[in-house]
Amino acid sequence: MGRRWGLLVGVLGAVWLLGSGQGGRQPAETAAQRCFCQVSGYLDDCTCDVETVDRFNNYRLFPRLQNLLESDYFRYYKVNLKRPCPFWNDISQCGRRDCAVKPCQSDEVPDGIKSVSYKYSEEANSLIEECEQAERLGAVDESLSEETQKAVLQWTKHDDSSDNFCEVDDIQSPDAEYVDLLLNPERYTGYKGPDAWKIWNVIYEENCFKPQTIKRPLNPLASGQGKSEENTFYSWLEGLCVEKRAFYRLISGLHASINVHLSARYLLQDTWLEKKWGHNVTEFQQRFDGILTKGEGPRRLKNLYFLYLIELRALSKVVPFFERPDFQLFTGNKIQDAENKMLLLEILHEIKSFPLHFDENSFFAGDKKEANKLKEDFRLHFRNISRIMDCVGCLKCRLWGKLQTQGLGTALKILFSEKLIANMPESGPSYEFHLTRQEIVSLFNAFGRISTSVKELENFRKLLQNIH
C-alpha cells in the first residue's frame, strides 16, 4: 500500500514537474520514456549499443534459443536445494505456494541423462572406469583415442579446479534432484521484504569489493540516504579498475534480470479456478522508472545489457568446444540428439557473427602478478556469491539463483580460462578444456534468461508507451 501510494505520488510529481516550468506546454513524458530514455546508445565499458543488441536478440536469437531450451537435454537440471546456508542459521523457508519446486519423478528424466550421474557416483578405482564415467558426461563419443582418454581423465579431476568461478553442488549427493525447468518457471513468487533484501545486501555490501564507508544508493537496509551518497557511490565505482566495476555491473544486471522476470510473469489473478500470470507494469515501474528510482532504474537496465554482452562473448568464444565432432548433447535419443546439436551450432554461429562483441582482453591485463591476484579475488568473490544462493529462503528463487550464478560462473570460466586462451580458437578445439553437462545446461539456460529479459524490455516499452 505504502509503495503504491509512493508510486502514485512519484508519477503525479513527475507529471507536475513537466507540466510546470520545466516541461512548458510540451506533453508530459510517457512512462516508457522515464524507464528507457537512458537505455539507448552506447553501453559503458563496451563498443556496443543497446539498439544493436535489441535487434540481434529479439529477432534472430531469442526464438531459436527458446526452442533449444525446451529440449530434454536442457530442460532437466540437477540441483541440491537442501544444502545448508553456510553464512547464517536463521533461514526460514518462506512456505509460499509459489516458492515450491516440484522435482522430477525418476521415470521422467531420460535414461541417457540419468545414467551419467549414476555412473559418475561410483567409486572410480581404475583408469578405464574413470574414462567411462567421463565419456558418459555427454561430451564425447565412446570411441576415443588414447590421447583423448587421458584428457578425459583429467576433466574428472578438474571439476573443482582453479578455473571454476562457482561452488557447484555435489550432484552425487542423495539430496540432489533433477528439476524440470519448464515446469518450474522463474516468475513472481512473492519472496520480498527483509529476507530478500538481506541476500542482496550481503551480495553487494560484502562481495562486490565495496568498502563499508561507501553507501549504496536506495539501500533499504540503510537509513537516511541522500543525494551526496549516490554521488559518492558512483564516483567510487568510476574510480575502480575495470574488472571490479564489471563485477558490480554483472551482479546488478543479474538482479535487474530477475526483477524483469517477476514483473513480466506476475501473479495477476489468483482464484480457486485459475491463476493468471502476466505483465505488471506498476511493478516494473517501481523498479525501473527513472524518476521513481532517482535515476537508478535505467542504470540497472543498462547493467542487464552489459551482462548480456559478457555471456554472449563467452558463448562465441567456446564455439570450438561444441564443434568437436565427438561432442554430443547426449540423452540417448540419437535422432533428437543430432538435431539438437545442429540447432545448437546454428545458434552458436549466429552468436559468433554478432558484430560488436565485448572485448575481454582489457581484463586482467598489465602486470602479471597483480593481474593474477585480481583474477583470484574476482573468482573468490564470485564463488562466495554462488554459496549465498543456499541462503535464499524461497526454493524457486534459490533454484533459479543457483542456476543463473552457475551459468554466469561458467561464462567467466570460459572468458578467463588459461586453457581456452592457450588453445582456442586459432589452433582448433582443445581437449584440455572441458565443460560438464551441468555447466552446459546452466550456461545456456542462464543466457536464455537474460535473452528473455531483453525481449521483455521490448514488451514493457510498448505497454508503457501510452502511460503518463
Told to check if 300 binds ligand FAD by CB under 6 A, we report: yes
Count other Cβ atoms within 10 Å, centred on residue 443: 25
Answer positive or negative: Cα dihedral of 187, 221, 36, 300: negative
> Binder to ligand FAD among 85, 202, 218, 356 (CB under 6 A)?
218
Considering the rule CB under 6 A, would residue 281 count as an interface residue with ligand FAD?
no
Grid-cell match 551459468, residue found? 407
For residues 236 and 213, the answer to whether their CB atoms sit within 8 Å is no
How far apart (Å, rounded) are the C-alpha atoms in residues 405 and 386? 6
User: Binding of ligand FAD at residue 151 (CB under 6 A)?
Assistant: no
Residue 2 CB, nearest approach to ligand FAD (Å): 12
Where do we find the cell 538481506?
198
78 lines the binding site for ligand FAD (CB under 6 A): no
Report in angstroms how near the CB of residue 49 gets to ligand FAD at its nearest.
20
CB nearer to ligand FAD: give 116 or 258.
258
Cβ-contact 356, 52 below 8 angstroms: yes
Residue 200 binds ligand FAD (CB under 6 A)? yes
Locate 84 and state its grid cell.
545448508
Residue 287 as a binder of ligand FAD (CB under 6 A): the answer is yes
- Exactly one of 156, 219, 225, 384 binds ligand FAD (CB under 6 A); which one? 219
Stretch that binds ligand FAD, among 70-78, 253-261, 348-356, 441-449 (CB under 6 A): 253-261
All cell numbers assigned to 11: 508519477
| Backbone conformation region of residue 150, classed left if phi is above 0, alpha if psi is from -120 to 50, else beta | alpha
Q: Look-up: residue for cell 562465441?
A: 316
Residue of 101, 109, 113, 392 interacting with ligand FAD (CB under 6 A): 392
Q: Which listed range, 70-78, 183-191, 342-350, 432-440, lies at the site for ligand FAD (CB under 6 A)?
A: 183-191
Q: Compute the Cα dihedral for 45, 46, 49, 50 and give only its sign.
A: negative
Q: How many chain residues are in contact with ligand FAD, going by CB under 6 A? A: 25
Q: Which is nearer to ligand FAD, 217 or 429 (CB)?
A: 217
Smallest separation (angstroms) from ligand FAD to the CB of 271: 20
Burial-class residue 182 by CB neighbours within 10 Å (0-12, 13-18, 19+): exposed
Amino acid code (one letter) for 454: V
385 counts as binding ligand FAD under rule CB under 6 A: no
Binding-site ranges for ligand FAD (CB under 6 A)? 186, 188-189, 191-192, 196-197, 199-200, 218-220, 252, 255-256, 258-259, 262, 287, 300, 392, 396-397, 400-401
